[in-house]
């Protein structure tokens, strides 16, 4: 089962989240039938949003929109504080690799654009925050967002590794943040350790990548494990929710669907679940 380990340094000056999101991204790939580049891009966005939501409390929901201008198109994700995330990618059929190494290409396929975060505290006034995409690699864009928009110096590593058949082999990452009280010397030491870390792909490929990530982040520095929390790809769509959406349409449109299409069909963008509403369903809405 996917999980997030929340930790803090013994001196309370740094915190780190370490994630195993393999099943989350694997299920997203299955739901959207994504090809290699689209799988990695969508997976990175889902992991980033799980990290964003981990910083929140209560019933807060985080919508992450990566709005690039290249072939992958937009990536939309929604996460909550319970570790649940859902998402979709505009173009699921992008598959491009470097011929020499076989490495999956993402950044140029996202291109330039915006990293937009919408935080909904359930009060009716969602908070919007946005920074430009700096590389399209998503991890770097996310770190830039945290540092610039939330004024929290952060280091981020996240990735999705695929097997020989381009199926998700492992997915996960880490988020390290500086907390108040950290000295310049401590920050410099932490930065040096992060810079000297093995590549995130190498750490994820370890037999126990959670422990490998923690060891790489903290080195010899003492730290405490605060919690272990479940993560999952979970969509909260339902027939009732889409029925409610249909009810908001003009009755003339519902009548047209009833007479010409003999019903209505809706696909959930987030999980591709198909919902069908027959003539009787529409009749109830028209007369309701």
Choosing from 218, 233, 248, the residue where a domain stops is 233
Choosing from 233, 260, 277, the residue where a domain stops is 233
Range of the domain at 249: 239-287
Instruction: Report helix, strand or coil for 201.
Output: helix
Same domain for 151 and 244, yes or no, is no
Q: What is the CATH number of the domain that holds 47?
A: 3.55.30.10
CB 43 within 8 A of CB 28: yes
Q: Which of 158, 112, 115 is nearest to 139 (CA)?
A: 158
Taking only the tens of pLDDT, the chain with its 288 residues reads 999 999 999 999 999 999 999 999 999 999 999 999 999 999 999 999 999 999 999 999 999 999 999 999 999 999 999 999 999 999 999 999 988 888 999 999 999 999 999 999 988 899 999 999 999 999 999 999 999 988 888 999 999 999 999 999 999 999 999 999 999 999 998 899 999 999 999 999 998 999 999 999 999 999 999 999 999 999 999 999 999 999 999 998 898 898 888 899 999 999 999 999 998 899 988 987
CB 65 within 8 A of CB 114: yes
Same domain for 66 and 124, yes or no, is yes
Report how far residue 145's alpha carbon sits from residue 133's, in angstroms, rounded to the nearest whole number: 9
Same domain for 148 and 115, yes or no, is yes
Instruction: Report helix, strand or coil for 30.
Output: helix
Burial classification of residue 199, based on how many CB atoms lie within 10 Å of its CB (0-12 exposed, 13-18 middle, 19 or more buried)? exposed
Same domain for 177 and 65, yes or no, is yes
DSSP string, 95-155: --B-TTT-PBP-HHHH-SEEEEEEEE-SSS-PEEEEEE-SSSSSHHHHHHHHHHTS---EE
Same domain for 165 and 264, yes or no, is no
Instruction: Report helix, strand or coil for 86.
Output: strand
Same domain for 178 and 255, yes or no, is no
Same domain for 69 and 159, yes or no, is yes
Q: What is the CATH number of the domain that holds 280?
A: 3.90.1280.10
Report how far residue 264's alpha carbon sits from residue 231's, in angstroms, rounded to the nearest whole number: 34
Choosing from 192, 216, 233, the residue where a domain stops is 233
Supply the pLDDT for residue 98.
87
Same domain for 153 and 256, yes or no, is no
Same domain for 227 and 270, yes or no, is no
Query: E strand or H helix at 247, and its extent?
Result: helix 239-247
Same domain for 18 and 32, yes or no, is yes
The total number of structural domains in the chain stands at 2
Same domain for 211 and 247, yes or no, is no
CA dihedral in degrees (22, 28, 29, 31; nearest 10)? 140
Same domain for 112 and 189, yes or no, is yes
């Amino acid at each position: 089962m996917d999980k997030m380990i929340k930790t803090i340094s013994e001196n309370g000056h740094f915190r780190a989240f370490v994630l195993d999101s393999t099943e989350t991204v694997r299920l997203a790939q299955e739901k959207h039938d994504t090809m290699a580049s689209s799988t990695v891009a969508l997976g990175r966005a889902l992991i980033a949003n799980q990290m964003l939501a981990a910083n929140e409390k209560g019933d807060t929901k985080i919508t992450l929109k990566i709005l690039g201008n290249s072939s992958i198109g937009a990536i939309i994700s929604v996460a909550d504080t319970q570790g649940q995330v859902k998402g979709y990618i505009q173009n699921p059929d992008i598959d491009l690799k470097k011929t020499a190494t076989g490495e999956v290409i993402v950044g140029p396929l996202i291109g330039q654009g915006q990293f937009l975060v919408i935080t909904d505290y359930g009060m009716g006034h969602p908070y919007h925050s946005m920074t430009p995409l700096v590389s399209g690699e998503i991890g770097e864009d996310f770190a830039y967002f945290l540092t610039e928009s939330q004024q929290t110096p952060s280091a981020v590593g996240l990735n999705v590794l695929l097997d020989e058949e381009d199926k998700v082999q492992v997915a996960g990452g880490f988020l390290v943040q500086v907390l108040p009280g950290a000295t310049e010397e401590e920050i410099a030491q932490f930065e040096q350790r992060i810079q000297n870390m093995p590549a995130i792909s190498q750490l994820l490929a370890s037999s126990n990548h959670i422990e490998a990530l923690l060891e790489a982040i903290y080195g010899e520095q003492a730290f405490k494990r605060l919690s272990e929390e479940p993560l999952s790809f979970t969509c909260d769509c339902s027939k009732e929710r889409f029925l409610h959406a249909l009810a908001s349409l003009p009755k003339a449109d519902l009548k047209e669907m009833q007479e010409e299409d003999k019903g209505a069909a809706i696909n959930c963008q987030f999980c591709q679940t198909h919902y069908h509403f027959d003539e009787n369903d529409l009749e109830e809405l028209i007369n309701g």
